Structure formats: C-alpha cells, structure tokens
Structure 1
Amino acid sequence: MSAEVEKRTLRKVSMRIVPFVMLLYFVAFIDRVNIGFAALTMNKDLGFSPSVFGFGAGIFFFGYFLFEVPSNLILNKVGARIWIARVMITWGLISGAMAFVQGSTSFYVLRFLLGAAEAGFFPGIILYLSFWFPARQRAAMTAIFMAAAPLSTVLGSPVSGALLEMHGLMGLSGWQWMFIIEAIPALILGVVVLFYMTDRPEQAKWLKDDERNWLVGTMDAETAKKAGTASHSIWRGLADLRVIALAMVYFGTSAGLYTLGIWAPQIIKEFGLTSLQVGFLNAIPGVVAVIAMVLWARHSDRSGERTWHVVSACLLAAGGLVLAGFAGTVIAVLLALSLVNIGISSAKPPLWSMPTMFLSGSAAAAGIATINSIGNLGGFIGPAMIGWIKDLTGSFQGGLFFVAALLVLSAFLTLVLARSQRNTAKAEAAAAAAHR
C-alpha cells in the first residue's frame, strides 16, 4: 500500500510542480541571455565594441552575486510563492526597460539591476524542489527543471531572431521590440505564481490526506536522518569548505553556459547568415542537450554516483569549446557547440544534488545561494574575457580556450572534493569504531 501511495504522490507532485517551475525558468533564461541576439543589431546601433558588450552582458552577475544569499534566505522565511512572484515581476519590468538603453552607462546599469532583481530565483527553485522531492528523485527532477535552459535556446532563438526582423515598426528597432515582447511573460507569470504555487507539502490541499501524510513523513524523516551530520545554521552553510569547492566547480560551468547563451549567436553570425537563420541554427545544439541531460541525470540517480557524472560532462564541454575554436565551417561550429551544450547541461543536475546531501534548513538555503552566487560570477568572467580577447586578437579562439580551461579546472576540483569527502567519511567511521 505504501509503495502505491508513494508512486501516486510523486506522480501528482511532479505533474503539479515541475512543468510550472520549468516554464518559469524558461522565461527567466530567455530574459537573461536574449542580450546575445539583441547584440546582432544593437551593438551596431549603439556603437558597442565586443569588450563593452561582454562587460555589460556579464555585469548582470555582479547584481546576482550581491543579492543572491539574502534573497534565498528571505524566500526560506516568507515562502516561495510570495518571493518568486516578487522576483518575476521586478525582473520583467527591468528586462522590458532594456529596450530603452541609450549607451554603455544605461546598458551597464540595467544589466546590473536585472541581475539584482533575478537574484534568488534559481537557487530558490532548487531549494523549493528539496522541500517536495526525496533525495533519490532529486537529480532527475532538477534535470527536468533545468532542461528549460537549453529548451529556451531551442524555442527562444528562432523567436528572438524573428523579433529582430520587426525593425522600424512604430519607430523602434527590432532589438527593442524583442526586449519589450519577451518581458511580458515574466510579468504575467509573476501574478500566476501568487495563485498557483504552494509553499510546503503540509499546505498542499491538492493532495489527498494519505498522499500528503506520506510526503510530509518522508521529508521529515530525511531531515531527521541528516540532523546528526548535516549543517543547519546559516553561517555553517556560508562557511562550509564543501560549499566553496562546489561554488568553484559551478564557476566553470557557468562560464561555459553563458559563453553559449551570450556569444553563440555572434559566433554563428560570422559565417554571413541573417538573424533569422542564426536563430534557427542556434536552436539545434539545445535540442540534443535537453535529451542528454535528462538521460544523464537519470543514470546518476539510478547509480547513486555524482562525481564522475560531473567530471566527464565538464571535460566533454571543454573539448567542445576547443573544437569550436578550430572550426572553420557552420556545420563544424554547430557540432562543437552541441558538445558544449551537452556537457554543460549534463553536469548541472548531479552537481546540484550534492549540497543537500550535507546541508539542511537555513544552511541549505544559504549554501545553495552561495554556490549559485559565487559560481555564477563565471557568467561574468567567461563572456567578458571572450569580448576582451576578441577586441585584442580579432578572433573568438583565445576566449573559447580560456573558458575550456575553466571547465577542466571544474572537473579537477570535483575530483578533489570527492577524495576529501571519502577521507572524511573514513575518519568518522574509524572514530566511531574506536568509541564502541
């Protein structure tokens, strides 16, 4: 009977929560990286050099960094429903305001404010999923949620490319129409969140009594099991060396992800294609990545292995970036970008399953936000370095190699962290045996 209740409950929770948070992340990611498509015409209109554009695109993550931890702690206190609604409405307003950028200063200010507004969304959803799904299902659910990022590339790229063709309508440029139209879903969904989202399993009136009791009992049991070993305090979550190590691992994957999101359209554009053609071609790598990341996360959950699932994915992405640096045809570039997409997307779900293995409560909220905020600074370093090196050398190659090196470093740090964890576990086991 318990197995039947478990299956029924998890199916109902999955259907209620996962598609909705996927939709939210889909919209968030489009608003975060549509700057890459805007650049196809905006940079010329406003006279932005590659280094100015790279810095402005990346400064988003400074705002994100500064406000990420406080935002996630507020979410943990007031609940996901109110806080996610606040996040979405403010980022929608600022994203739409990007249409009225006049020069580099307003570009930098609005990108910074967009990062500050969106801070707390991604780690908030990761934390939210940990309230609803037992640990053994978490990587798979996280993967499905995170599939919204490559999906936003698949579906959003052709849309962004098409919106750029609206140039001149009502006196606005195509890139201005793109920012305005793509900001609207965030504003609408911010209101929907207030009526649809449920903060905790205890409040889920859409579950039957036996389903709700099973879920609350299961999640409470997991929390109790971690009580002896997991960190709970905010400061432990911030200062835990494992959190800092995971943040540095995430740094490399973020550099890779936002190199793709922000620069891939311009890399493809170099082959003399129209904005609409770039939009359709940029969607191809994302299709493969969505399938790969879900299968990879399921394999990680079934095997219970996290380390090598992160390491091998990071190395695949690094190899793809190196290939992209040498590619001389559109087909070769698309193949290389597909490898990068697969690697980056597949590394993240098993990586995000690691923090809640040793953190819970406020420590989990602080720790997850710390990993995301520090790690996402890679989203500044990667795109900014590519722009700077492109200005210096006239080529994307050096920048792509730089980001590939960051991903190799991420793979190495994951192995170091895993070895440290094993040594700690052995020492604790030996100490326990000695006291028997």
Structure 2
Amino acid sequence: MNTHVARATGTHPSLANTGAAAALYSKVSWRIIPLLIACYMVAYLDRINIGYAQLQMKQMLTFGDAVYGLGAGIFFIGYFLFEVPSNLLLEKIGARKTLLRIMFCWGIVAAGMMFVQTPTQFYVLRFLLGVFEAGFFPGIILYLTYWYPSARRGQVIAVFMAATTVANVIAGPLCGGIMKYMDGAHGLAGWQWLFLVQGLPASLLGIAAYFYLQDKPEDARWLSSSEKKALRTNLEHDDKHVATASHASLGQMFRDRKVYVLALVYFLLLGATYTMVFWVPTLIKSWGVADLMQIGLYSALPSLIGVFGMILIGRHSDRHGERRWHFAASVTIAAIGLGITTLTQGNLGASLAGLSLAVVGIASATPLFFTITTEYLSKAGAAAGIALISSLGNLGAAASPAVTGAITARTGSPVYSMYLVMALYLLSGIILLLAVRSAKARKTVQA
C-alpha cells in the first residue's frame, strides 16, 4: 500500500503496510462504540419521547400545542447554557467521570417527568433535563477525536449517530406500546410509565460507562503498547479533508467568525431536524392514522431506512475524502423527501415513501456536519469549539418546535411547518458550501 492510499484510509504508512490498521480500528470500535450507541439511544429517547407522550398528555392535562411546543424547545435553553463548560470540564477530568455525572442526573430528571401536572412543572423539568444532559453529545464527538483520525471519522460518527435513527425505529413501537398497554397499570397513565421506563436506564448506563470506558488510548489496558503507539502516530499524521483553522488558543477560536457561521448552519439544520422529530407522530396522525401503536409502527419505517442510508453516505464520504458536497446532497435529499410528503397528503403509502427519503438525508447530514467541524477546528480549540457550535446550534432546536407549534395551531395543519423545514435544510447546505473550503482547494490557493 503506497503513501497516498495510506492517507486515504487514515493510517500511517508503516502501519498500513502491515495490513493491521483495519483490525486495530475494528478492535477499538467494538470496544467503545456499542456502549456509546446504547447511551445515545437512551439520551435520544429521553429527548423525543415527549413527542409521543404529548398525544396522551394533552388529553389528560391542560396542555395545548403551544404549551407543548414551548416545553419541547425549552430543553435546549438549559443545554445551551451548560454545554461549553461541560466540554471544557471533560477535557480536564475525562469522559468517564463526565458521562457518569451527565447520565445519572438526567436519568433521574427524565423519570421525574412522570409527576408533571401543570405547564410550569413541565417547563421546569424540561429545562433541567437540558441542563443535566448538556455536554453529552459534543463530549462524545470530542472523545471520538481522541481515538480516530479524520479519514476514519465520517463513518465512525455516522455509526455512533445511527443511535438516533435506531432510537427512532424503536421509539414509535416502544412508546406507542407502553402508552397503549400500560395505561392504567397501578394507577398510572401510559405517558407516566413512558417517562419512568425510559428515564431510569440512563442512570444505569452512566455507571456502566464509568467502569467500562477509558479516557484515552494510553489508558486502555486492552491495547498493547504497539497498538497505542500506532493510534497516536495516526492522529499525529492526520490528513484532513477540509481547510483547517490555525487556532493557537481558545481566544483565537472564540474570535473566529467561521465558527459562528458553522453554528448558524447547525442552528438551521437542528431546527429543521427537531421540528421533524417532535411533529412526526402528529404528522402521521393527520394522515388518518388514529391508533397509537400504528402511529409508532409507521414512524419506525423511515428511521429504519435512514440507518442504512446514513452509514453508507458516511462511508462514501470517507472513501472519497469529500465532506462539503456530501452534506449539501444530504440536506437536498431531505428537502425533496419532505416535498413529496407534503404533496401526497392523504396518500399513506406515498407520504411514507417521501418521509423515508427525507429521513435518509436528515440522518446523514448531522454526522457529516460534525465530521467537518472536527476537521476544521484546531486541537487547541476543539473542546470548546465543538461545544460552542453545538450549543449555539441547539438554539435552533429550542426555537423551532415553538414556532412550528404556533404555525400548526394557527393553521390547523402541519403542512405549512413543512415548507419552513424544507427551506431551513436547503439554506444550511448553501451556507456551508460558501463558508467551508476543501483542503485541496486551500492547498491550490497556497500554491
């Protein structure tokens, strides 16, 4: 294997020539990725199960669409306030202690949602859930940069983020089944059982992560000294696919305008994505599907297709060493799929087909975005930069459910919200193409 091929696979030539690179990274992935996926699945369920719970909550409590939309979005305010401090703390104390703190606390709060009776209690607990979960996602993204070079990061982040899509696959049947079949058990409503059953596992997984994971390759007893050296060598010879910033300090990172442009892209992307996450059950219900279990099953199909799509697109991006146009293609696919869904209202099969296409694009866009982000940021600014971009971007997810909830409540139909979502996706792709240059283009300019 020559040097060019070695760079394409993210390995140092000496390791690539032995044919050991694939085996080593497979060993690393099988050790750390399954648990991270499990943690993220639970985290994601605790975020989005409100989309299913509200179908019963609004019947039993004094909750309208506007209250629900605001409560769904206020989670991200707490997330925004504490995300950067959490990631900086992770860099100091390590991933194990950080995951223990985050997951144990958010599991207790997520289960505590079962006691909500008033809008104020709903807002407070959603805010606290965001506070305690803050730093989880950007912390994992930072953690992956300790193990994988850029050329392998696209597929790895896609596999990790497949947790959200897999969670969507099981969320519908699981949430629908709990609310339908456990409703009234021991005097509790179905939505109360939903929060309890899906909240407590987070605390248990936080404890498991503390004892099972290692903060960095150097701490891993299951790696030999030569394997640790190989991982370190590959990271030191990292060959990135987008033009990289030259931040020598945190101050330079905070003054970099492009960081805030990337945050704007994520703001648009996440705002559109969480609108879909929170309103898909309502959207499917508007197609004439009344049974909660059926709503859950229909919502699972697009997510199942999205799992395969996002991994294949992430792998294709790694193989070709290209990020920007893969991202732009993904958000365009999302917009086209939503357009089909909107135009075929009333036709269940065609609407599901359009939604499935949209989910392929939606699921693929976020891992590509964070692969670009980790390649752009310098080592000095990575911890704070990933968290800053993520926290600012999460404000989009805070605003969009409230905005689209108000639109839906005013118009009586989710269709107009879909037009807004399509525009947000397309705009995020255009801005990223204009803001980020490829590494090849940078080298050409410098030459």
By the TM > 0.5 criterion, same fold? Answer: yes
Asked whether the equivalents of residues 256 and 340 of structure 1 are also in contact (C-alpha less than 8 Å), the reply is no
Alpha-carbon distance in structure 2 between the residues aligned to 1:365 and 1:144: 21
Instruction: Kindly state the Cα deviation for residue 273 of structure 1 after the two structures are TM-superposed.
Output: 2.1
Q: Which moved more, 1:128-137 or 1:43-52?
A: 43-52
Q: Does 1:132 align with 2:147?
A: yes
Alpha-carbon distance in structure 2 between the residues aligned to 1:101 and 1:20: 31
Asked whether the equivalents of residues 154 and 371 of structure 2 are also in contact (C-alpha less than 8 Å), the reply is yes
1:68 to 66, 73, 83: 83
Describe the superposition over 1:44-85 as per-residue Cα deviations: whole angstroms up to 9, x where unpaired: 111211111111101111111111111111111110000011
Residue identity in the other structure for 1:350: L
Residues matched between the structures, number:
427
Asked whether the equivalents of residues 245 and 378 of structure 2 are also in contact (C-alpha less than 8 Å), the reply is no
The aligned counterpart of 2:423 is: 405
1:104 to 108, 116, 119: 119
The aligned counterpart of 1:49 is: 64
The aligned counterpart of 1:202 is: 218
Describe the superposition over 1:121-147 as per-residue Cα deviations: whole angstroms up to 9, x where unpaired: 001000100100111100010000000
Instruction: Kindly state the Cα deviation for residue 2 of structure 1 after the two structures are TM-superposed.
Output: 2.5
The aligned counterpart of 2:385 is: 367
Asked whether the equivalents of residues 150 and 239 of structure 2 are also in contact (C-alpha less than 8 Å), the reply is no
Instruction: Kindly state the Cα deviation for residue 301 of structure 1 after the two structures are TM-superposed.
Output: 0.5
Asked whether the equivalents of residues 5 and 211 of structure 1 are also in contact (C-alpha less than 8 Å), the reply is no
The aligned counterpart of 1:183 is: 199
Once superposed, what is the RMSD of the aligned Cα atoms? 2.0
Instruction: Kindly state the Cα deviation for residue 319 of structure 1 after the two structures are TM-superposed.
Output: 2.2
Instruction: Kindly state the Cα deviation for residue 268 of structure 1 after the two structures are TM-superposed.
Output: 1.0
Residue identity in the other structure for 1:351: F
Describe the superposition over 1:325-384 as per-residue Cα deviations: whole angstroms up to 9, x where unpaired: 332222233222212211111112221111222323341011111111111222122221
The aligned counterpart of 1:391 is: 409
The aligned counterpart of 2:99 is: 84
The aligned counterpart of 1:433 is: none
1:310 to 327, 337, 349: 327
Instruction: Kindly state the Cα deviation for residue 212 of structure 1 after the two structures are TM-superposed.
Output: 1.3
1:251 to 242, 267, 272: 267
Residue identity in the other structure for 1:191: I
The aligned counterpart of 2:373 is: 355
Instruction: Kindly state the Cα deviation for residue 426 of structure 1 after the two structures are TM-superposed.
Output: 5.4
Alpha-carbon distance in structure 1 between the residues aligned to 2:134 and 2:248: 22
Q: Does 1:21 align with 2:21?
A: no
Asked whether the equivalents of residues 271 and 397 of structure 2 are also in contact (C-alpha less than 8 Å), the reply is yes
Alpha-carbon distance in structure 1 between the residues aligned to 2:272 and 2:358: 8
Instruction: Kindly state the Cα deviation for residue 229 of structure 1 after the two structures are TM-superposed.
Output: 5.8
The TM-score normalised by the length of structure 2 is 0.91
Instruction: Kindly state the Cα deviation for residue 424 of structure 1 after the two structures are TM-superposed.
Output: 6.1
Residue identity in the other structure for 1:2: L
Alpha-carbon distance in structure 1 between the residues aligned to 2:437 and 2:237: 28
Q: Does 1:94 align with 2:127?
A: no
Asked whether the equivalents of residues 84 and 135 of structure 2 are also in contact (C-alpha less than 8 Å), the reply is yes
Structure 1 unaligned spans of 5+: 431-436
Asked whether the equivalents of residues 231 and 358 of structure 1 are also in contact (C-alpha less than 8 Å), the reply is no
After TM superposition, list the pairs within 5 Å mapping 1:310-329 onto structure 2. 310-326=327-343, 327-329=345-347
Alpha-carbon distance in structure 2 between the residues aligned to 1:336 and 1:49: 28
Asked whether the equivalents of residues 289 and 295 of structure 2 are also in contact (C-alpha less than 8 Å), the reply is no
Instruction: Kindly state the Cα deviation for residue 221 of structure 1 after the two structures are TM-superposed.
Output: 3.9
Describe the superposition over 1:382-420 as per-residue Cα deviations: whole angstroms up to 9, x where unpaired: 221211001111111111111111111101101211359
Residue identity in the other structure for 1:100: F
Alpha-carbon distance in structure 2 between the residues aligned to 1:112 and 1:333: 34
Q: Which moved more, 1:266-275 or 1:151-160?
A: 266-275
Residue identity in the other structure for 2:317: S
Aligned to 1:361, what secondary structure does the other structure show?
coil
Residue identity (%) = 43
After TM superposition, list the pairs within 5 Å mapping 1:137-156 onto structure 2. 137-156=152-171
The verdict on how the C-alpha distance between 1:332 and 1:13 changes in structure 2, with shifts beyond 3 A counting, is same
Q: Which moved more, 1:374-383 or 1:201-210?
A: 374-383
Q: Does 1:275 align with 2:292?
A: yes
Q: Does 1:294 align with 2:311?
A: yes
Q: Which moved more, 1:323-332 or 1:112-121?
A: 323-332
Asked whether the equivalents of residues 154 and 282 of structure 1 are also in contact (C-alpha less than 8 Å), the reply is yes
Q: Which moved more, 1:26-35 or 1:230-239?
A: 230-239
Instruction: Kindly state the Cα deviation for residue 196 of structure 1 after the two structures are TM-superposed.
Output: 0.4
1:230 to 235, 246, 258: 246
Instruction: Kindly state the Cα deviation for residue 218 of structure 1 after the two structures are TM-superposed.
Output: 2.2
Structure 2 unaligned spans of 5+: 1-13
Alpha-carbon distance in structure 1 between the residues aligned to 2:254 and 2:105: 27
Residue identity in the other structure for 1:212: K
The aligned counterpart of 1:331 is: 349
Instruction: Kindly state the Cα deviation for residue 264 of structure 1 after the two structures are TM-superposed.
Output: 0.5
Alpha-carbon distance in structure 2 between the residues aligned to 1:232 and 1:368: 16
Alpha-carbon distance in structure 2 between the residues aligned to 1:95 and 1:232: 39
